[in-house]
Structure 1
Amino acid sequence: MLFDPKFEQGTLIKRYKRFLADIQLPDGSQITIHCPNTGSMRHCLFPGEKVWYSTSDNPKRKYPNTWEQAHNDVGDIIGINTGRANELAAEGIAQGVISELSGYASLRREVKYGSENSRIDLLLEDEHRPNCYIEVKSCTLLEEGQGYFPDAVTTRGQKHLRELMEMVRLGHRAVLLFVVQHSGITSVTAARHIDPDYANLLQQAAQAGVEILAYRAQLSPNSAFLAKSCPVKL
């Protein structure tokens, strides 16, 4: 995807109240921007480092600017906006980048499903094969060279794994897709040290037939796209 206009640059001062961040602009002024990330953003917050933000023309928005990307202290680019992960996944499927998910007749988003009142991120449908339910997760936690998910305890993520296992039992195809929005991450594994219940469920899901995939995003202030797959360590 191309960003038009491209993102503008600032310097991170701090993130606070979960959904807000203060940044300094090149002219020395400061603004408050929306932070579209509900996670802990562990190892993604680097005051004094570069950030990039987009601007909305919606006059009803209290904070028209949205935090999109960040630099860490060694120069990696991190995708802060978790909503971009779904867009990248859908685009990657449409363009044939995610070869494991190619060839379906249609793609729908945010479809209700499951016994726990969930919405699947992406649903692939084709009359010649079982439906494919895809849950997308944005991976940005890097520790000692390893990418991890999640960055905080996620009961919602645990629910999604149970729902995917249910879809497999019903005869459908189910996929957990990690979209890696961190240029320093080359493989993904469950963050057992943060959420052991999620790690256990991920192993159960894989054993039950849920497919676990990971694809790295190529990020810049001008564009973002899925580039290639990377290993998932279970």
Structure 2
Amino acid sequence: MKYHHVITGKFIKRVNRFLAHVWLEGAEQIVHVKNTGRLKELLIPGAEVLLEQSGNPERKTPFSLIGVYKGETLVNIDSQVPNPVVYEALTTGAVREIGPAEHVRKEVKYGNSRFDLYYETKSKKGFIEVKGVTLEKEGVALFPDAPTVRGTRHIYEMMEAVENGYQGTILFLIQMIGVHCFTPHSEMDPEFANALRVASQRGVQLLAYDSIVTTNDIVIGKPVEVRL
């Protein structure tokens, strides 16, 4: 996925889930934050950030915060990125465990559920729920960074799809490079972590991939070990 009109700034403070103050082009400006997660380990005063300029002159906040440098590592924080990145990866066969998909659809309703992606290959059909990961500690990627009742519900819904003959996958897209494994953040949300372990035992495929992130692009990288 490509960005356009990206510039750098310095993070000052976060006002709420949606807005932050950034030092940009010689002045303090209010910008939109494209991630409602906590991001406490990333959005610290003085951090170098990436911002995309909107092409809409009617917007009250002309810039959106899309990336943060954590040391020398660039972390994409755009919560709208994971789905299109995985969609593109499916169409090109970059998700090795699934292979090239002949047919991919977004936001597909199934029963009382709505999954991020539906795909068909020559031998199988299935659903994928995509989770973007921005939290990293000592080389370990963690999800979630805040309790997620909705995320836990998605896991049980995916188990139901598997029971009904579909391949079910939960794919954690780690929005950075340089981690050596992924694990559920049990301390933050024990119910989510437990549901993930149950899902693994009941046939849901758990995958994690890192990402190649540049100042104006993000694409899927390589598989990362999932540790439960």
Under TM normalisation by the shorter chain, which class is it? over 0.9
Post-superposition CA distance 1:124-167 (Å, at most 9, x none): 035x5442100000111112331111001000100100110010
- In the alignment, residue 16 of structure 2 is paired with which amino acid? K
TM normalised by structure 2 equals 0.94
The separation in 1 between residues aligned to 2:111 and 2:182, in whole angstroms, is 26
1:97 counterpart residue number: 94
Matched, 1:14 2:13: yes
Give 3-state SS (helix, strand or coil) of 1:83's partner.
Answer: coil
The separation in 2 between residues aligned to 1:99 and 1:184, in whole angstroms, is 19
Corresponding pairs, count: 228
Q: Any conservation in 1 of the 2:94–2:100 contact (CA below 8 Å)? A: no
- When the two chains are superposed, the root-mean-square deviation of aligned CA atoms in Å is 1.5
Matched, 1:152 2:146: yes
Matched, 1:2 2:21: no
Deviates more, 1:191-200 or 1:41-50: 41-50
1:122 counterpart residue number: 117
The separation in 2 between residues aligned to 1:98 and 1:130, in whole angstroms, is 14
Q: Any conservation in 2 of the 1:68–1:79 contact (CA below 8 Å)? A: yes
Give 3-state SS (helix, strand or coil) of 2:11's partner.
Answer: strand
Identify unmatched segments of 5+ residues in structure 1. none
Q: Any conservation in 1 of the 2:90–2:104 contact (CA below 8 Å)? A: no
Q: Any conservation in 1 of the 2:127–2:168 contact (CA below 8 Å)? A: yes
- In the alignment, residue 11 of structure 2 is paired with which amino acid? L
TM normalised by structure 1 equals 0.92
Q: Any conservation in 1 of the 2:31–2:62 contact (CA below 8 Å)? A: yes
The separation in 2 between residues aligned to 1:106 and 1:145, in whole angstroms, is 35
The separation in 2 between residues aligned to 1:152 and 1:87, in whole angstroms, is 23
Give 3-state SS (helix, strand or coil) of 2:186's partner.
Answer: coil
Give 3-state SS (helix, strand or coil) of 1:90's partner.
Answer: helix
Post-superposition CA distance 1:163-220 (Å, at most 9, x none): 1001001110100001001334221100001100001000000001000011110111
1:47 counterpart residue number: 45
Q: Any conservation in 1 of the 2:115–2:129 contact (CA below 8 Å)? A: yes
Work out which of the residue numbers 140, 165, 171 in structure 1 matches 2:159.
165
Matched, 1:197 2:191: yes
Q: Any conservation in 2 of the 1:176–1:211 contact (CA below 8 Å)? A: yes
Identify unmatched segments of 5+ residues in structure 2. none
The separation in 2 between residues aligned to 1:232 and 1:105, in whole angstroms, is 27
The separation in 2 between residues aligned to 1:99 and 1:198, in whole angstroms, is 26
1:65 counterpart residue number: 63
Structure 1: which 4+ aligned runs deviate by more than 3 Å? Answer: none
The separation in 2 between residues aligned to 1:97 and 1:3, in whole angstroms, is 21
The separation in 2 between residues aligned to 1:66 and 1:101, in whole angstroms, is 33
The separation in 1 between residues aligned to 2:42 and 2:98, in whole angstroms, is 30
1:83 counterpart residue number: 80
2:36 counterpart residue number: 38
The separation in 2 between residues aligned to 1:165 and 1:42, in whole angstroms, is 32
Q: Any conservation in 2 of the 1:42–1:141 contact (CA below 8 Å)? A: no
Work out which of the residue numbers 105, 108, 111 in structure 2 matches 1:111.
108
Of structures 1 and 2, the one with the larger relative CO (CA 8 A, separation 6+) is 1
> What's the % identity of the aligned pairs?
36
